[in-house]
Structure 1
Amino acid sequence: MGLDAEEEPLSELRDEEEANGPESSGTLCLHAFSDLTHVSPLVFLYLLKECYIHGSNKATKKFQALQYQVHQVLANKPQPGPASFIVQCLNVLPVFGTYGEGFSHLLISSLRRYFKTSTSETSQEDMCLARRLAATLFLAIVGGIVAYDEKVMVNTLKMFDVGLTNIDEALLSSGSSEVGFASGGGSVFLERYISDLIKSKSFMTAVSLLEHFSLSFPGDAFLQQMVEDRDFVAAEKWAIFMGRPSLCVLVQEYGSRNMLKQAYNVIKKNYLQHEFPDLCYKCKESALKDLAEKACWDVAERQAKGDTQLLEYLVYLAMEAGYIEKVDELCDRYSLKGLPKAQEAEVGFVDKSFLHLKDLAVEEVVWVDEVNGLREATSFLEECKVIGLDCEWKPNYMKGSEPNKVSIMQIGSDTKVFILDLIKLYNDASEVLDSCLSQILQSYKPLKLGYNFQCDIKQLALSYGDLECFKSYEMLLDIQNVFKEATGGLSGLTKKILGVGLNKTRRNSDWEQRPLAQNQLEYAALDAAVLVHIFRHVRDQPPSDSSLETTQWKSHIVSHMDNQKKSKKPKNHSMETSASVI
């Protein structure tokens, strides 16, 4: 059959046929693939379609098996040759309807694989005929006689290396000279067709054809049009083909629209830094600002690469965000002068822009890193009706690496917040930590509030897998689910409910350093305490229908138990009892 020892894909097809019963497998004749000398393209495609239809595997696996089979049987004397046989198949393939597009990709990819792996060279005669046939097929697709998408058309031209000469010959043989192409031939035909593609905004197809036939007639206006229509991939492909001047025009277009990320990518890829020094610096500043807004200060500092001007800009961003300790840290580390006055000017602005613990009347923040303090915290929290939960861990910016252990856990009421040093407590007294947190998390009282806390509890379980306390929880109300329409995370929700947002600049700070900075402690405590205040708004200030709103937040209370066989009845009864007294 012209197959080598690697017959697994073909055997898969046979197995699929047998699995579908004798009636189904009897309709196929795989033996016909063993010698293609007298097999027409139409019969070949019909057999191929039957193999596909009768396969029981998923579409992708069937496609791969058939691709392997086709590339192998192309060695079995298809007439007049492998390349021209595939073009003939492409010509008749549209009669198979919905199979046409998928099978066209299969045939082209199979032939490409055949060219790469075949030990015998394809004859020059076969390739010349294939080019002529492919050029004729191209005209038929353009004229709407053969229905193919533009991607298949472009792939066919590239696969058979169809040139302008082949288009000229195809036009002459088709009689197209009678309709105005005699003087210009293929060039005029292509320019008109590509102009129509540009008008219809099929930019990538137009660029692919211009590149393939080495045409350059549209000019810079074409580049501008692609940018305006946000087809950046096609615009860059065209600019690279046209050379450095067009790349510079593309960068200028991006810059004028403040599309700094796109501009910088083109500059870096094509080594245009010397042509656009100011724009490069502006792009770097924009990148630092994006990182600062995500609270990725360490990454931003590394990207500054010791550049004084960029570091001063990063200090300004830290001032603007109210991250005063980061300002001090950067100024000290890089000996930046003349910034303290600017820092002082920013402090008042920051104080007015974000919520603080004093605004919530939180009386005490307690750091807990030893057993006695943990037991006292547990006793206090067990007496509360409602508590807020959150946790923090040091970010890990190494791609593909495991996240760091959860460093601290914040648990608090409306007046008092405990910050648990999980790393130290786990190392010193893991059993006590497990017992105390189980008493809090796995009891029906108090009601536990979190914001996307199911993500946090998952991280806690990964960090401390041998502790039972993080494997289940009771009476958790995720505030995020109650306000699904809110944007901007917890800070955005806080601003919506309480009128002022949270300063999240310390979110990605080093939570493993000891002692934590005062601002870090306030940040951590605030995330837990504000949840209680938001809950009060839900409970005490419902919109119009009070009973409906109460039912709504109660319906979001969830529990999670590792042992799914446990009865749900006691939990539902306890949930109702606990919720009713809040």
Structure 2
Amino acid sequence: MIENKEFRAAEKWATFMGQPMLSILVQEYIDRNKLKFAYLIVKKNNLQQEFPDVHHKYIESALKKLAEKACWDVAEAKANGDRQLVEYLVYLAMEFGYFEKVDELCDRYSLEEAIIWVDELNGLGEATCHIEGSKVVGLDCEWKPNYVKGSKPNKVSIMQIASDKKVFIFDLIKLYKDVPAVLDNCLTRILQSPRILKLGYSFHCDLKQLAQSYGDLKCFKCYNMLLDIQNMFKDPRGGLSGLAEKILRAGLNKTRRNSDWEQRPLTQNQLEYAAVLIQIFYRVRDHSLTANALGRHDKIEWKSHIISHMDNPKKSKNEPRPRNEPGVEDHEP
């Protein structure tokens, strides 16, 4: 009946069969991302105890649809002051590039900033702790372009590392000057962690640039659990800007990318550009999860694109993994 979109008939039949069948129907709707139908059945049949998260998931789905249409006032009213939903709304505003709305919501509800500039010791420690608590992060970096042929490339200026709630922009030039040992330790913990899946676009090439810029730091010489999204798409034309056009339906502003990333402070346009890049990675993640969950023909076999480069000798394929070491199956992009 569900396959034929006979939702009312399915609900009547499940109601006749009793609560166990209603629970099965609700779970089927959740698996198919039909959260409105799931929520209505849960509410009507007092199944909140069995499905405590359905209401929030349904509201989040509605908020996302409103955000896609830029109906921010309606979305905020629907969130009704719920802190978790407001935080999700901030994430959506950041994802779709409405950074003024991000600031507005953060100020109104006294939320922490979503885009955080990291250029001193305490901020570095706080950022590292937050990132280490994430299963998936996005990575990118920027440096001032050099237009003199044959000259040495400029140092990488900033590095962006983002969880699903915050974007941290690391001022590598200042941190390297002030606290190089701490910077090395923190980035080693992030980049070489087997517990964090890192999303990047040809980021292994960025790592070469990072290693050249900061040759005495060990953190850029090895990496673990890096998922190169460039390899996840068969059509590489257009580079990252082409991917942005495909995923966000808006290309990247090359003028901002080619701007002076060594100036301090960065302009608001530069900060927004740095944050938008990270959101591309999360839209890729959402696309991957949706396609795979629904078994669509365009599903992405992302696990085969994870790469690592470590100093440790390779373990034998038959060697058992330690109990406390997570496998690829523990991560979802």
Pairwise TM-score range, normalised by the shorter structure: 0.5 to 0.7
Alpha-carbon distance, 1:468 to partner: 0.8
In terms of Rg, which structure is larger? Answer: 1
**Measured at CA, do residues 496 and 425 of structure 1 come closer, stay the same or move farther in structure 2, by a change above 3 Å?**
same
Identity, % of aligned pairs? 59
Report the RMSD for the aligned CA atoms in angstroms: 2.9
Match of 2:315 in 1: 567
Q: Give the letter aligned to residue 556 of structure 1.
A: H
2:207 paired residue among 454, 457, 461: 457
**Measured at CA, do residues 376 and 548 of structure 1 come closer, stay the same or move farther in structure 2, by a change above 3 Å?**
same
Match of 1:553 in 2: 302
Alpha-carbon distance, 1:499 to partner: 2.8
* Aligned partner of residue 474 in structure 1, secondary structure: strand
CA contact (8 A) 1:388 1:531 kept: yes
Matches within 5 A, 1:349-498: 356-358=97-99, 364-498=114-248
CA contact (8 A) 1:355 1:500 kept: no
**Measured at CA, do residues 495 and 355 of structure 1 come closer, stay the same or move farther in structure 2, by a change above 3 Å?**
farther
CA contact (8 A) 2:247 2:280 kept: no
Q: Give the letter aligned to residue 451 of structure 1.
A: Y
* Aligned partner of residue 373 in structure 1, secondary structure: helix
Matches within 5 A, 1:238-253: none
Alpha-carbon distance, 1:455 to partner: 0.8
Superposed CA deviations along residues 523-567 of structure 1, whole A, max 9, x for unmatched, are 1121123212211211222497469935x110000101245x342
Alpha-carbon distance, 1:369 to partner: 0.4
CA contact (8 A) 1:410 1:524 kept: yes
**Measured at CA, do residues 370 and 359 of structure 1 come closer, stay the same or move farther in structure 2, by a change above 3 Å?**
closer
Q: Which has the higher strand share?
A: 2
1:502 paired residue among 249, 252, 260: 252
Match of 2:40 in 1: none
Alpha-carbon distance, 1:578 to partner: 4.0
Q: Give the letter aligned to residue 396 of structure 1.
A: N
Count of matched residue pairs:
227
Alpha-carbon distance, 1:503 to partner: 2.5
**Measured at CA, do residues 360 and 502 of structure 1 come closer, stay the same or move farther in structure 2, by a change above 3 Å?**
farther
Match of 2:108 in 1: none
**Measured at CA, do residues 399 and 486 of structure 1 come closer, stay the same or move farther in structure 2, by a change above 3 Å?**
closer
Q: Give the letter aligned to residue 119 of structure 2.
A: D
Match of 2:37 in 1: none
Higher relative contact order (CA 8 A, sep 6+): 2
* TM-score when normalising by structure 2: 0.62
**Measured at CA, do residues 569 and 376 of structure 1 come closer, stay the same or move farther in structure 2, by a change above 3 Å?**
farther
CA contact (8 A) 2:291 2:299 kept: no
Q: Give the letter aligned to residue 356 of structure 1.
A: G
* TM-score when normalising by structure 1: 0.36
Give the gaps of 5 or more residues in structure 2: 1-94, 104-112
**Measured at CA, do residues 572 and 385 of structure 1 come closer, stay the same or move farther in structure 2, by a change above 3 Å?**
farther
Moved more, 499-508 or 455-464: 499-508
Give the Cα–Cα distance (whole angstroms) in 2 for the partners of residues 580 and 526 of structure 1: 27
Alpha-carbon distance, 1:397 to partner: 1.2
Q: Does 1:512 align with 2:262?
A: yes
* Aligned partner of residue 541 in structure 1, secondary structure: helix
Give the Cα–Cα distance (whole angstroms) in 2 for the partners of residues 542 and 356 of structure 1: 26
Q: Does 1:580 align with 2:330?
A: yes
Q: Give the letter aligned to residue 204 of structure 2.
A: Q
**Measured at CA, do residues 407 and 356 of structure 1 come closer, stay the same or move farther in structure 2, by a change above 3 Å?**
same
Alpha-carbon distance, 1:412 to partner: 0.5
